[in-house]
């Protein structure tokens, strides 16, 4: 049997107070030591502190909520920065008023223009003929909003081009000219201008070259009859009213076209046209130099052979199947160079000065870029299946 330590009266002794006190102190010290070891290994658990990882996540969330500020640069933004300061607004001012009010100049239309040259105290702007047609005054709005008075140097209805001049005191930039003959279908291009007026000045649209060397029929006098076939580039970059005269640039920011027109019907979308800069330059230079565009003329009206149905090629033109390209003479002006040389209606021009001619665009390029008034022109053309040669002395087109 076991024995218990008992007091003389048989009761168990009471615990010592000093023993309990020291046991409590020992427990507190052990607990404190354990807590110190725990928090020293994980300081983020201490009250009032936030772990490094948690703090990073909170800061990242704050940044995401505020939005990141990014400086994005692309080939398109570079091209726009390069060319946009040279694109201006052009306001056509005309005198208005009635019997009871004083006449004053008011803006009746707004288009766009491009500063292509600065020489001495003068800056030169190219725009469309229809933008400045009938104007009694011209006001140019620069890219920073500054307005400058300008004058029309010369204008050409046939190519829809006009040249303006103004003081270059406020001019910030001049556009660099590109090479429109080097363009490829599918190449990226950018249209810069003022669609629907100055409220949307400096608007940018982008697209591609849809086609080169297009010939588009134009009715110049509004009588419903086609008077001319404009030589243009085709693009799907949006071109709207007010863009006329503005810039079509490549990804280097070089001017490769003057925006001119679009086909606007409910069945058509994304077809805009621009005058190629290589075709525009001879006109621009002559308008700047003389104020008018005088061209060498043959005295004929034309149609592309490609537009003539096969039945007419055989029955009317008497062409063999191997002749698939050329330009058909649809009419000859009496007493013109072509008339005096013996050319006739339905002759099919296939060569000029030894250079093959496949369409109207090639004929005009050779005639307007290579020849002068008074030059002799050697022409080869088919008549009833027979190849004939003609020699023409080119005359002033204003005399026809």
Domains and CATH numbers, the chain: 81-167 (2.40.10.10), 187-290 (2.40.10.10), 296-399 (2.30.42.10)
User: What's the confidence (pLDDT) of residue 62?
Assistant: 57
Please say if the pLDDT value at position 347 is more than 80. Answer: yes
Instruction: Give whichever of 36-45, 99-108, 109-118, 208-217 has the largest mean pLDDT.
Output: 109-118
- What 8-state DSSP symbol labels residue 157? T
Q: What confidence category does residue 8 fall into, taking pLDDT thresholds of 50, 70 and 90?
A: very low
pLDDT (mean) for 170-183: 95
Catalytic residue among 156, 160, 347, 359: 160
Residue position matching structure tokens 């090639």: 362
Catalytic residue among 112, 201, 244, 336: 244
User: What's the confidence (pLDDT) of residue 162?
Assistant: 96
Q: Label residue 84 left, alpha or beta by phi (over 0 means left) and psi (-120 to 50 means alpha).
A: alpha
Q: What confidence category does residue 223 fall into, taking pLDDT thresholds of 50, 70 and 90?
A: low
User: What's the confidence (pLDDT) of residue 230?
Assistant: 81
How far, in Å, CA of 192 to CA of 259, rounded? 9
pLDDT (mean) for 103-116: 80
Residue-wise DSSP of 298-341 = --EEEEEGGGS-HHHHHHTS---TT----EEEEEE-TTSHHHHH
Sign of the CA dihedral 190, 92, 161, 288? negative
pLDDT (mean) for 134-163: 93
Please say if the pLDDT value at position 188 is more than 80. Answer: yes
User: What's the confidence (pLDDT) of residue 73?
Assistant: 87
- What 8-state DSSP symbol labels residue 186? T
Contact 332, 338 (CB under 8 A): yes
User: What count of other Cβ atoms lies within 10 Å of the Cβ of residue 373?
Assistant: 15
Catalytic residue among 85, 112, 130, 180: 130
- 65 or 283, higher pLDDT: 283
Residue 182 — φ and ψ, nearest 5°?
-90, 0
pLDDT (mean) for 73-95: 92
Is 160 marked active-site? Answer: yes
Contact 155, 132 (CB under 8 A): yes
User: What's the confidence (pLDDT) of residue 17?
Assistant: 54
User: What's the confidence (pLDDT) of residue 176?
Assistant: 97
Q: What confidence category does residue 16 fall into, taking pLDDT thresholds of 50, 70 and 90?
A: low
Give strand pairing partners of 235: 209, 272
Q: Has this prediction a pTM greater than 0.75?
A: no
Please say if the pLDDT value at position 102 is more than 70. Answer: no
Contact 301, 257 (CB under 8 A): no
- Helix 277-290 and helix 360-370, axial crossing angle in degrees, nearest 10: 40
């Amino acid at each position: 049997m076991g024995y218990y330590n008992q007091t003389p009266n048989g009761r168990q002794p009471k615990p010592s107070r000093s023993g309990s006190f020291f046991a409590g102190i020992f427990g507190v010290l052990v607990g404190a030591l354990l807590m110190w070891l725990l928090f020293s290994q994980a300081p983020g658990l201490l009250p009032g502190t936030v772990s490094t990882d948690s703090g990073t996540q909170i800061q990242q969330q704050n940044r995401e909520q505020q939005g990141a500020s990014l400086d994005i640069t692309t080939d398109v933004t570079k091209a726009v920065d390069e060319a946009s300061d040279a694109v201006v607004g052009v306001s056509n001012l005309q005198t208005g008023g009635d019997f009871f009010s004083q006449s004053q100049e008011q803006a009746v239309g707004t288009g766009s223009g491009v500063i292509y040259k600065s020489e001495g105290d003068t800056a030169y702007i190219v725009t469309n003929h229809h933008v400045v047609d009938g104007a009694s005054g011209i006001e140019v709005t620069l890219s920073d909003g500054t307005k400058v008075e300008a004058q029309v140097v010369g204008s050409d209805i046939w190519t829809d081009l006009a040249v303006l001049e103004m003081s270059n005191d406020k001019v910030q930039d001049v556009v660099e000219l590109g090479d429109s003959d080097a363009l490829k279908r599918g190449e990226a291009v950018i249209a810069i201008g003022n669609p629907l007026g100055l409220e949307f000045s400096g608007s940018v649209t982008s697209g591609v070259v849809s086609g080169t060397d297009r010939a588009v029929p134009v009715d110049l006098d509004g009588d419903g009859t086609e008077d001319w076939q404009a030589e243009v580039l085709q693009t799907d970059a949006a071109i709207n009213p007010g863009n006329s005269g503005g810039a079509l640039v490549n990804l280097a920011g070089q001017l490769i076209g003057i925006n001119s027109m679009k086909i606007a019907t409910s069945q058509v979308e994304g077809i805009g046209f621009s005058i190629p800069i290589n075709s525009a330059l001879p006109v621009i230079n002559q308008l700047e130099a003389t104020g008018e565009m005088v061209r060498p003329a043959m005295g004929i009206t034309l149609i592309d052979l490609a537009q003539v149905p096969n039945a007419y090629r055989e029955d009317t033109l008497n062409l063999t199947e191997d002749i698939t390209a050329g330009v058909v003479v649809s009419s000859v002006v009496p007493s013109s160079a072509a008339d005096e040389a013996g050319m006739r209606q339905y002759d099919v021009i296939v060569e000029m000065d030894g250079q093959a001619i496949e369409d109207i665009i090639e004929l005009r390029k050779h005639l307007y870029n290579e020849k002068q008034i008074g030059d002799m022109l050697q022409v080869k053309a088919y008549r009833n299946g027979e190849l004939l040669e003609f020699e023409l002395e080119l005359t002033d087109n204003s005399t026809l």
